[in-house]
Amino acid sequence: MAEIITIICKRTVVSTKPVQAGKSYPLSVLDRHMEHNHLRMVLYYPSMGAPTEPGEITGRLRESLAVTLTHFPIVTGRLQKNDNDQWMIKCNDAGVRMLEAKAKGSLEEWLRNMDRDKELMLVYWEEMYHKPYFWSTFYVQITEFEDGGLAIGLSCTHLLADPTCATMFIKAWADTSFPGKMMSPPFFYPLPPRRPDNTRPNYKPYNSLINHYKASINKSIDLVDKKHTTVSFGFSDDMVRACMEMAQPNGANDKLSPSPFEALAGLFWVCISKVKGMRNGLIDMSISLDVRKVLGLDKGFFGNSTVYNKVHLESFQEIVYHKLQLL
């Protein structure tokens, strides 16, 4: 299987402009709570336009990545302990590790025969060294398919970013690569902040959620190495719209219709329940909630702002029943 992917080179990409000397960023309670986890994501792009020379697209993306990193000093920095023996980021322009690779066949063929082990070959990751100051916290892998198509794999420690941040970084890179201008630059500041435009006299920061995670961070966490299985789902636009229409109560207006995201979440829940063997019911599901708005953060805030909860079928049924009673 390893012969399907050929690693061409491994290099370090740095930002085009140096960061301010001596700059560093502290990590929040939510950041430190995710220390033992990391993220891996793969994005696929079909061939578009005229054929290109091997490595041509990778070269362009490498150049735009360097420009993008100028706005993400945390990504190019390195982990270091502060005086309280807590992790912080030293912004030293050390860069990110980038792998350039090529794959046999086309992207379409790959997707038809993909499994978890094969997909992991498209996203490079290294565990933390015994000397973390030299360890890259972000890795990028660009894989060009010989017969057309491209895959971009991004991996990073969850200590610095949640899935929203990882997606934000990819979008900023895409904006820099094609329109040539970053549409939504990131924001870096301590958590939780007090918004400068908040003029309410009795305003108090939302600390209860932070205190909950601060208390749980000192508890021991049992790490279990579980065997995971990858299942791919494809939901067309027609399927999502049909789901939205079926979920709308009779006689209700459009405002009560579920959003496309809610329809997709429902479809995922039903399909995963069937894969798990549930024929007449739904399995319990863990959901992540972005709390940027709750904590008064900007949408572009870069840092862990996601909390996780388990949704039980019994509770879900009670909520749905209560909402239907209000209609």
Q: pLDDT tens, 252-304? A: 566 667 788 788 888 888 888 888 887 777 788 777 888 888 888 899 999 99
Higher pLDDT, 122 or 258: 122
Indicate the burial class of 304 (C-beta count within 10 angstroms; 0-12, 13-18, 19 or more).
buried
Listed ranges 42-51, 63-72, 129-138, 223-232; the one with the highest mean pLDDT:
63-72
The pLDDT, as a whole number, for residue 196 is 54
- 186-200: pLDDT as tens digits: 999 887 644 555 555
What domains are defined for the chain?
2-177 (3.30.559.10), 208-326 (no CATH)
pLDDT grade for 207, boundaries at 50, 70 and 90: low
Task: Determine what percent of the chain is predicted with pLDDT higher than 70.
Answer: 79
DSSP helix/strand/coil, 53 = coil
Least confident of 94-103, 106-115, 223-232, 288-297: 223-232
Q: Is the CB of residue 128 less than 8 Å from the CB of residue 9?
A: no
The pLDDT, as a whole number, for residue 275 is 84
Instruction: Tell me the HSE value of 101 on the side-chain side, using a 13 A CA sphere.
Output: 22
For residue 4, is pLDDT > 80?
A: yes
What is the C-alpha separation between 33 and 310, in angstroms, rounded? 17
pLDDT grade for 162, boundaries at 50, 70 and 90: very high
For residue 46, is pLDDT > 80?
A: yes
Beta bridge partners of 141: 99, 153
Indicate the burial class of 116 (C-beta count within 10 angstroms; 0-12, 13-18, 19 or more).
exposed
Least confident of 21-25, 73-77, 134-138: 21-25
Task: Tally DSSP H helices, then E strands, for the chain.
Answer: 10, 10
Using only the alpha carbons of the chain, give its radius of gyration. Answer: 22
Q: Is the CB of residue 168 less than 8 Å from the CB of residue 298?
A: no
The pLDDT, as a whole number, for residue 321 is 36
pLDDT grade for 114, boundaries at 50, 70 and 90: confident
pLDDT mean across residues, the chain: 82
Least confident of 31-45, 216-230, 282-296: 216-230
Across residues 61-84, what is the average pLDDT? 94
